[in-house]
Amino acid sequence: MRRGTLLREIGRTARRQSVEWTLVRQGGRHEVWRCGVIEVVIPRHADINDLTALGIKRSLEGELGKGWWR
């Protein structure tokens, strides 16, 4: 999955549900983003492995709801 696609998908869903989606800090290879109270680490690679993307999406279920990405 493309990194930009993942960020847009999460951002769009967060906006629809009135949940804060902000960049906390940047590192060399990863960024830390906050969705509500949950922080997730997102790689700064152009392509993100599909299993990694799925893990990131699942970690946000507490804020965005179960199965929000389907």
Under the banding of pLDDT at 50, 70 and 90, the label for residue 21 is: very high
Query: Does some domain include residue 13?
Result: yes
Torsion, CA 38, CA 52, CA 43, CA 68, rounded to 10? -40
Range of the domain at 60: 3-64
Q: How confident is the model at residue 2 (pLDDT cuts 50, 70, 90)?
A: very high
Residues 29-52: tens digit of each pLDDT:
999 999 999 999 999 999 999 999
pLDDT number for residue 63:
95
What is the pTM (predicted TM-score) of this model? Answer: 0.93
Contact in structure between 38 and 62 (CB atoms under 8 Å): yes
**Count of structural domains within the chain:** 1
Residue 16 lies in a domain: yes
pLDDT number for residue 44: 95
57: in domain = yes
∠ CA 19-48-10, rounded to 5°: 15
Query: Is residue 70 one of the residues assigned to a domain?
Result: no
Helix, strand or coil for residue 41?
strand
For residue 22, the model assigns a pLDDT of 98
